[in-house]
Amino acid sequence: MRYAFVLGRVYTLSIAELVAILEKPDPSFNLSGDSIKILEASEEVLVIETKHPLSAERLQKKLGGVIKILQIVDVLKKREQDSINFALKHYFKPGVLKKQFFKDYKGKMQFGVSIYLLDMSLARPSTAPVPLPNTEQRNFNSPFGEPKRIGMMIKKSLADTGQSIRLVLPEFNSLALASVVVTKNLLLAKGAEICILAGKSVIYTAKTLTVQDFEDYGRRDYQRPVRDEKQGMIPPKVAQIMLNLANCQTNNTILDPFCGIGTILQEGILLGYKMLGSDINKLAIRGSENNLEWFRNRYKIPPGKYHLEAADARKLSSLLSGQKISSIVTEGTLGPLYTAYPKPQEITANFKDLASLYADSLVEFARFLPSGGRVVICIPAYKKGRNNYEKMPSLDFIKDLGYNFISIIPAAIAKKLKFLKLTERNTAVYDRKDQIVAREIAIFQKN
């Protein structure tokens, strides 16, 4: 079986999460832990081969960094000089379409077309004519017109059989349909989203199995009774990714010692963990209490799945007597937030203060964290420009505290996927355009 995963905006984190989940045995997703092979990958999509069918709907709910899960239908060869629609001109016959892509549905069918690039250079087409043997010369077509060309080709093929059908296309400056468009047009229920994964010498045809529930993520973020824009809030999707990097089993207990208003706690509960939260700020704990009570009622969470304490992260061990903590997942204190880039001396002072706080906290965590237990943590990185950050100068102090540094993506995979945006210490950065203080996500493991 072959599947493709459409990646989120910060694709390095999406791939890190996927690797962590797919390589871990989990019968609920039909994963054996040793049956996954990466076939292709780009900034947009990851293609795998697996021995067993995946439980796509369950897997989609667990993955914060995956926009869609696709099932690969066919693999076709493509000449480098051919446009995508030219390579597919004899493929979409009525028999193939009805058998491979469309469910039995009475009435007017609806379908959409999305293209994802396996080679990003295809987004920069040459305008020079390409000489071809035994045929006329033709210009390389821009990929941004391909969804419409392919969509009309499919629509005509089906219309010729008498099928009533409606075509949904991406906006003119996009190659793919957003999950909101797929959902609101009921494409998966009343027809299909047909996806083309295009490389220089290969094309995968695929159909969408699931899309990310954008409405539910919005609900979990914006409908909570307490929000704190001034202090910054980790998005639920990023919290979910970090929890998946913790390498815990369902029903394990995870601690967030800088819990704020409870985003990581709520996402952990939804993933099936028992969550403990603490924060030195009593107002934040009250916000967490309100949010988690709303969350528990909204998602019908049974009692006893979380506990909160107002406490200093450097003095937690006495409060956790009898608790078996498997991992720590947290957005560590990021320091001051800025609307303008801070002065170098401010950054130096912030990093010095935070390094002291993190070191003292890690010493405390080592008192109750088991050997092999992970700390997945956000630390601040100041955004200087695109892909340019001022990061904490060194994290080597963790080695003296009994921890090892874990690469966010295994070295063997990172070596193959050269497009990944990893820092020199193999962490990944999550940022937003309007934020100066970004989040560097790091993984420590207790010896």
Q: With 0-12 CB in 10 A as exposed, 13-18 as middle and 19+ as buried, what is 128?
A: exposed
Give the pLDDT score at 367: 94
Give the pLDDT score at 33: 67
Helix spans in 160-244 (H): 179-184, 187-190, 214-222, 236-244
Give the pLDDT score at 172: 76
Domains and CATH numbers, the chain: 2-212 (3.30.2130.30), 225-446 (3.40.50.150)
Give the pLDDT score at 439: 96
Give the pLDDT score at 28: 77
Extract the tokens encoding 187: 């494409």
Longest dimension (CA), the chain: 80
DSSP of 386-435, one letter per residue?
A: TTEEEE-S--THHHHTTEEEE-SS-HHHHHH-TT----TTS-EEE--TT-
Give the pLDDT score at 127: 46
Give the pLDDT score at 231: 63
Torsion angle defined by CA atoms of residues 279, 282, 284 and 289, in that order, rounded to the nearest 10 degrees: 100
Cβ atoms of residues 191 and 110 within 8 Å: yes
pLDDT tens sequence for the chain (447 residues): 999 999 999 999 999 999 999 988 777 777 776 668 999 999 999 999 998 899 999 999 999 999 999 999 999 999 988 889 999 999 999 999 989 998 776 778 899 999 999 998 888 755 444 444 444 333 445 677 899 999 999 999 999 988 889 999 998 789 999 999 999 999 999 999 999 999 999 999 999 999 999 999 999 999 999 987 766 689 999 999 999 999 999 899 999 999 999 999 999 999 999 999 999 999 999 999 999 999 999 999 998 999 999 999 999 988 887 789 999 999 999 999 898 999 999 999 999 999 999 999 999 999 999 999 999 999 999 998 888 999 999 999 999 999 999 999 999 999 999 999 999 999 999 998 888 999 999 999 999
Q: What is the 3-state secondary structure (H, E, C) of the chain?
A: CEEEEEECCCHHHHHHHHHHHHCCCEHHHCECCCCEEEEEECCCEEEEEECCCCCHHHHHHHCCCEEEEEEEEEEEECCCCCCHHHHCCCCCCHHHHHHHCCCCCCCCEEEEEEEEECCHHHHCCCCCEECCCCCCCEECCCHHHHHHHHHHHHHHHHHCCCCCEEEECCCCCCCCCCHHHHHHCCHHHHEEEEEEEECCCEEEEEEEEEECCHHHHHHHHHCCCCCCCCCCCCCHHHHHHHHHCCCCCCCCEEEECCCCCCHHHHHHHHCCCEEEEEECCHHHHHHHHHHHHHHHHHCCCCCCCEEEEECCHHHCHHHHCCCCCCEEEEECCCCCCCCCCCCHHHHHHHHHHHHHHHHHHHHHHCCCCCCCCEEEEEEEEEEEECCEEEECCCCCHHHHCCEEEECCCCHHHHHHCCCCCCCCCCCEEECCCCCCEEEEEEEEEEC
Extract the tokens encoding 347: 């950054």
